[in-house]
Structure 1
Amino acid sequence: MSPSSADLLARANAASAGGNWSQVLDCLQQLLARDDEAPGDRHGGTTAAIALQLTLDSLANGDFRQRWEATKLLPYFGEAAIAPLLVWIGDRAVDGELRWFAVRAATDLLRHPVSSQTRTTTIAALANLLAAEEDDDLRDAATSALAELGEGAIDILAELMQEPQSRRLAVRAIAQIQHPRVVEPLLAAIADPDVEVRAIAWEAAIALDDPRLPSLLLKALDDPSARVRRQGAIGLGLWAARGSLDDRLPECDLVRRLRDRLWDLNLEVCQQAAIALGRLDSPAAAAALSELFAAETTPMPLKLAAVRALGWMSVPEAVDALQGAIQLCCRGGNEGEKLPAAFAAEIAAVLGRQSESPLRERAAEVLVALLDADPRTRPESAEVKKAIVLGLGELGDSRAIEPSIRLLADPDASVRLHAIAALKRLDPERTYQRLQERAADPTIAPDLREGIAIALQEWHR
């Protein structure tokens, strides 16, 4: 027979007297989960009052795990549990861990129905931690709590943004709230003299759909802080991706400003500027990106960002820029030193992913030309040749049949296997016929004959 509510409460009291907080919590969990307990008694009445006090005692005196378990019981008591939590939150004599739990618990309780006065009082207590508390962990906890409370915390956070001590945390909290009313506080914060405040505000502001943003984003590109400049480039890229910049900023000015940031001292700013230029999808933007490939000082991560940005574009100039970059890889840079094979392979892969019909034809022409090139400028790396032939397979252009067949004689087995895979995608019927014709030619070299024979064996597998 299961114990009665009175027995469970008596056991919990006895365990509390002995400091056995795990047993106290076990008894309370059984008591509060009982179906025969009147719901109203959980929020008021003698049993509820005693159970609440025992839960609070467990929270005050238990170890970390026991405190964690105690906070899970507080929602059973509803609004009645908030007042004692606020006392702990405001008492600096209470140990920091307990106050941290009190902040979490009070915030969780506000997710349940409470009076407007209790909600206001709780928000004020959390806000006071931002304004006056010295413990960083508590201030961070209060910041997260106010952000979770959403619209109800916006007004008090806007006030805290005016105070130097609480400005950074208040901006961090308000930046996490998804509500139209945060627009004005955030736009005010992006002009703050504090670099940290500006950066935090911009990280949230770039997602706003406000007509004032594009011109402000241009100003952000010249901010002394690299974090802000980076957000300026990200924001302009997002607006460009949405197609929202056409009537707001002259393209020539926008390309020029983003081009300047390609040479920023901060690599992340440069990379975001490259991405933004890719999203502009214009000949001028492609030309700006192409300048990066010839410069010996351009770091490889930025060159890769430029390649991928060009790959998103739908203008012929983007393919031309990629052609220039991969030719530079094959013949050597300005000093004659060839660029890493992985870079050339990435360019080939990007060319193979073109989706617009005219660009697909142009990309196939570029890749075929690489395989047909003079031996001095023809790709030597197996990695690059595999990327080229795979790209040609993706593009499905029949002009790639002959150069792909020649790769069946490549000394690298993986190149030969990639060539077979590509040939199967290049007009299969015509390609198979051509392989049979070449196999019957007595003049072809032995290595090519062997490669063609393997391809024919693998054709229908």
Structure 2
Amino acid sequence: MLIELSPATAAAEIGNWSIVIDCIHELALAQLKDNDRVLDLALQVLTQGDFEQQWEIAKIVPKLGEIAIQPLLDLVNDRDNQLENRWFGARILGEFARPQVVTALVALIRQDEDPELTAIAIGALTKIGTPAIAALTDLLAPADPEVCSVADRGMAIAILARIRHSQTIEPLIRVIDDPDPQLRTLIVEALGSFHDPRIPPLLIAKLTDVAASVRTAAVVALSLRGDLAIELHLLHHLRPLLGDLNSAVCKATALGLARLADPQAVAVLTELLASPRSTNDLRASAILALGWIGTRAAIDRLIAVLASFPELAPAAIVSISKTEREQIYASQLLVTYLHSYPDPARSDLAIVRQEIAAALGNLGNIDTVPALVELCDDPDARVRLHAMTALAKLAPTLPQ
């Protein structure tokens, strides 16, 4: 089929790249495939157009097929070309899962000549995915260490960790003890996404890593394996990290316990709340975790927080309101607590009444309407507003 490209060619001669793009857009996919004339026009736009035009033509070039690969490789490897042009070339190459593309992108990264260009090449390799794994794995244990630097190894690990394919498990396991804590963190995060029997013991071992970021990553990864909680005694392994010297590790552990579906988690979190060594930030994480667990035992613990830690009462009420398992039970306890005030109109408790009103609206128990009607007469305007909003959710036909 003869393709009429004269308008595009004429537009290219005067640098009107928008018309060139419009003409190419009008072509069917079959007309684009392996079309040298279109490729030539597209490359002109890519190297001479403005950023928006480059972005637009970059979406079309992959449709031309493999004839685009070598010109793109030439563009990317031409150090005399503008950096932005090479940036787009590397980005487009991510659409071609071919050995020569992988080799070229790895070489480009190893040159480490520009951080932005390197980042684009890494993103392209990540997009290529599994075809890049073999080339990257070769960089983990090179025959000649002088040929492959520590930076090359780090680059390979970082990309393998992003690919998230089962073929990366073996090479990542081999380097899980890399000296760089940032790389160990990436490796643990990546391995945590796979259900492979070799991985949980390695994650457990990383709970004692010297780097807090690695310990945190291991905690998160293990907490997502609730299916193995009982078999591997994960609560036993995670519990000591509630007292970790790093607060981020402690918080991640508290939240992680909620995901284990272990009935003992409530008792452990209760101990954490009561411990004089716990900060309020850590207690807030425990409160959130108990809300995620959402059993009656967990809700009971949260109700107890209202009296034990008044400053955390609003957070506890919000956590209670998010339960999906025991909404009726939770709403009943909140109404009981609301009515237990010696002086229910105390101004210092207005924030508590406000959060209870909002929680009752979220929990959806129609039997709590009388309590909300009472709160509509509260002396605090914010409490009244939240009570009316909750009533609108539960009983929209009632007069407001």
TM-score > 0.5 by shorter chain: yes
* 1:346 aligned partner: 315
* 1:187 aligned partner: 173
Match of 1:412 among 364, 380, 388: 380
Match of 1:386 among 342, 349, 354: 354
What is the aligned-residue identity percentage? 31
* 2:246 aligned partner: 266
Match of 1:288 among 263, 268, 275: 268
- Displacement of 1:149 after TM fit? 0.9
Question: Which AA in structure 2 matches 1:186?
Answer: L
Question: Which AA in structure 2 matches 1:229?
Answer: R
CA contact (8 A) 2:257 2:289 kept: yes
Which deviates the most, 416-425 or 172-181?
Answer: 416-425
Question: Which AA in structure 2 matches 1:161?
Answer: L
- Displacement of 1:207 after TM fit? 1.3
- Displacement of 1:43 after TM fit? 3.0
Match of 2:116 among 137, 143, 149: 137
* 2:145 aligned partner: none
- Displacement of 1:285 after TM fit? 1.9
Question: Which AA in structure 1 matches 2:213?
Answer: R
- Displacement of 1:309 after TM fit? 0.8
Length, aligned pairs only = 389
Seen in structure 2, the aligned counterparts of structure 1 residues 401 and 93 have a Cα distance that, compared at 3 Å, is closer
Cα separation, 2, equivalents of 1:150 and 1:288: 42
CA contact (8 A) 2:320 2:330 kept: no
Cα separation, 1, equivalents of 2:22 and 2:357: 68
- Displacement of 1:145 after TM fit? 0.6
* 2:144 aligned partner: none
Cα separation, 2, equivalents of 1:401 and 1:82: 68
Q: Structure 1 stretches of 5 or more lacking a match?
A: 112-118, 331-338, 429-457
- Displacement of 1:221 after TM fit? 2.0
Which digits, 9 at most, give the CA deviation of each residue in 1:283-340, with x for residues without a partner? Answer: 532232223434566444432221121122255542342233211134xxxxxxxx2x
Which deviates the most, 163-172 or 312-321?
Answer: 312-321
Match of 1:318 among 287, 298, 310: 298
Question: Which AA in structure 2 matches 1:255?
Answer: L
SS at match of 1:165: helix
* 2:94 aligned partner: 107
SS at match of 1:192: coil
Seen in structure 2, the aligned counterparts of structure 1 residues 74 and 379 have a Cα distance that, compared at 3 Å, is same
Question: Which AA in structure 1 matches 2:332?
Answer: A
Which digits, 9 at most, give the CA deviation of each residue in 1:125-149, with x for residues without a partner? Answer: 1111233333222221111111111
Match of 2:193 among 199, 203, 207: 207
Q: Pairwise mapping of residues 351-362 of structure 1 onto structure 2 (< 5 A)?
A: 351-356=320-325, 360-361=328-329
Match of 2:229 among 208, 222, 245: 245
SS at match of 1:280: coil
Q: Structure 2 stretches of 5 or more lacking a match?
A: 142-147
Cα separation, 2, equivalents of 1:387 and 1:5: 67
1:98 matches 2:82: no
Cα separation, 1, equivalents of 2:51 and 2:398: 65
- Displacement of 1:155 after TM fit? 0.9
- Displacement of 1:387 after TM fit? 2.7
After TM superposition, the score normalised by the length of structure 1 is: 0.70
- Displacement of 1:208 after TM fit? 0.8
- Displacement of 1:63 after TM fit? 4.6
- Displacement of 1:369 after TM fit? 4.3
CA contact (8 A) 1:29 1:73 kept: no
The alignment's C-alpha RMSD in Å is: 3.9
Cα separation, 1, equivalents of 2:347 and 2:366: 20
CA contact (8 A) 1:275 1:305 kept: yes
Question: Which AA in structure 1 matches 2:61?
Answer: L
* 1:234 aligned partner: 220
Question: Which AA in structure 1 matches 2:287?
Answer: V
- Displacement of 1:402 after TM fit? 8.6
* 2:103 aligned partner: 124
Cα separation, 2, equivalents of 1:381 and 1:93: 69
Cα separation, 2, equivalents of 1:38 and 1:422: 59
* 1:43 aligned partner: 34
CA contact (8 A) 2:314 2:351 kept: yes
